[in-house]
Amino acid sequence: MDFVEALSTDNLTAIKAAPKTDVHCHAFFSARRENVEHWVGHPLTKPPLKMKGVEGMMEYADAVLAPHIKHSEGFEFVAVSAINDAVQDGVVMLEMSFDIRLAEFYPNGIKELCAFIEALVERYKAQMDLRPELGFSRGCADDPKLMALAHEAVELGFFQSIDLYSRQEVCPPEVMKPLFTKARAAGMKLKAHVGEFEDAEEIRRTVEVLDLDEVQHGIAAAESVEVMRWLSEHHIQLNVCPTSNVMLDGVPDLAAHPIRVLFDNGVPVTINTDDLMIFGQSVSEEYRNLYQAGVFSAEELEDIRRASLAR
């Protein structure tokens, strides 16, 4: 059964069987919460259906989730569990972001973290193309030790891409320019979270300052025809996570998601998970949800799926 028929007959097994990508996935919160509950041996409080942006999400995650996984054993359980689930979900290319602070879980720091990730790449290479991404929070930009560590991580030549996240107000893109220039010179793909909630113009500015290849979220671009035209002309892909946008209240509900407007204006979009532990929807489920909410036809979702595999 092909993907179009799988969506239109709501055959989740067949939806999962179709090859897909996930290029917006933070390793630390990437496993299903149910699997973490099984591992810790007790249930964990569910997230509220609506949270107040990234701060609201972190309030929940810091109180309920992080205490159980803030060490190498916890992180390693989460990463392996997430990759196993992604394989079952039909994800054949996973660009997984590993925060620079994860190096602090290991006595030998960044090299030991990379050795663990490298072993995962090897272990899963027959089933998926796992591409390690270096993650950096804007909140760490004023920490000279972490910034130096991020430079060291880029110099290792191990990570294939870099992603900047947390609230865009925390630090202007100019602060990150030296690290991103080094990452570009190392041949890495450059990404940043921007326009998750508002400010279409800041999306263009961040892309220009940091010479980004792709934007994580960027859904506020839908407010500006001019910015959408610019993104389309420059082939800047937006890696969208629909359930994350709804739960963090950037979007009222799935049916109103601006991914439709972005698509209609020629902006390249992909469909991704963000933090599965919090948002609870696999890539296959995100495709299915968008179809069932009437955002896209099955044929349009097939076009998005195929385009994501070609990149």
Angstrom distances, CA of residue 30 to CA of 14, 16, 22, 82, 300: 23, 18, 11, 5, 27
> Judged by CB, which is closer to Zn ion: 238, or 304?
238
- Centre a 10 Å sphere on the Cβ of residue 53 and count the other Cβ atoms it contains: 13
Residue 54 Cβ, how far from Zn ion at the closest point, in Å?
A: 9
> How many positions of this chain bind Zn ion (CB under 5 A)?
1
> Judged by CB, which is closer to Zn ion: 274, or 302?
274
Q: Which stretch binds Zn ion (CB under 5 A): 83-91, 105-113, 268-276, 280-288?
A: 268-276
In the complex, residue closest to Zn ion by CB: 274
> Judged by CB, which is closer to Zn ion: 89, or 99?
99
Residue 294 Cβ, how far from Zn ion at the closest point, in Å?
A: 25
8 A C-beta contact, residue 128 and residue 83: yes
> Judged by CB, which is closer to Zn ion: 258, or 302?
258
- Centre a 10 Å sphere on the Cβ of residue 173 and count the other Cβ atoms it contains: 20
The answer to whether residue 196 is catalytic is yes
Token pair, residue 157, equals 């030549």
Helix or strand holding residue 191 (H, E): strand 189-194
> Judged by CB, which is closer to Zn ion: 7, or 251?
251
Residue 86 Cβ, how far from Zn ion at the closest point, in Å?
A: 16
**Amino acid letter, 189:** K
Phi, psi of 69 (to 5 degrees): -125, 10
Q: Which stretch binds Zn ion (CB under 5 A): 6-14, 153-161, 270-278, 301-309?
A: 270-278
- Centre a 10 Å sphere on the Cβ of residue 164 and count the other Cβ atoms it contains: 27
Residues found in the chain? 311
Residue 90 Cβ, how far from Zn ion at the closest point, in Å?
A: 21
* Of the candidates 22, 42, 5, 2, the residue with the CA atom closest to the CA atom of residue 242: 22
> Judged by CB, which is closer to Zn ion: 35, or 239?
239
Which listed residue (73, 155, 169, 196) is catalytic? Answer: 196
Residue 137 Cβ, how far from Zn ion at the closest point, in Å?
A: 11
Residue given tokens 């190498």 in the structure block: 72
Residue 299 Cβ, how far from Zn ion at the closest point, in Å?
A: 28
Helices and strands (H, E) in the chain, number of each type: 16, 8
* Contact between 95 and Zn ion per CB under 5 A: no
List, in order, residues 6 or more apart from 111 with CB less than 8 Å away.
156
* Contact between 196 and Zn ion per CB under 5 A: no
Q: Which stretch binds Zn ion (CB under 5 A): 4-12, 121-129, 257-265, 274-282?
A: 274-282
Region 138-167 residues binding Zn ion, contact defined as CB under 5 A: none
* Contact between 285 and Zn ion per CB under 5 A: no
* Of the candidates 42, 47, 21, 12, the residue with the CA atom closest to the CA atom of residue 306: 21
Q: Which stretch binds Zn ion (CB under 5 A): 66-74, 80-88, 146-154, 267-275?
A: 267-275
Helix or strand holding residue 55 (H, E): helix 53-60
* Contact between 274 and Zn ion per CB under 5 A: yes
Residues binding Zn ion (CB under 5 A) = 274
Would you please indicate which residues are annotated as catalytic (active-site) residues? 196
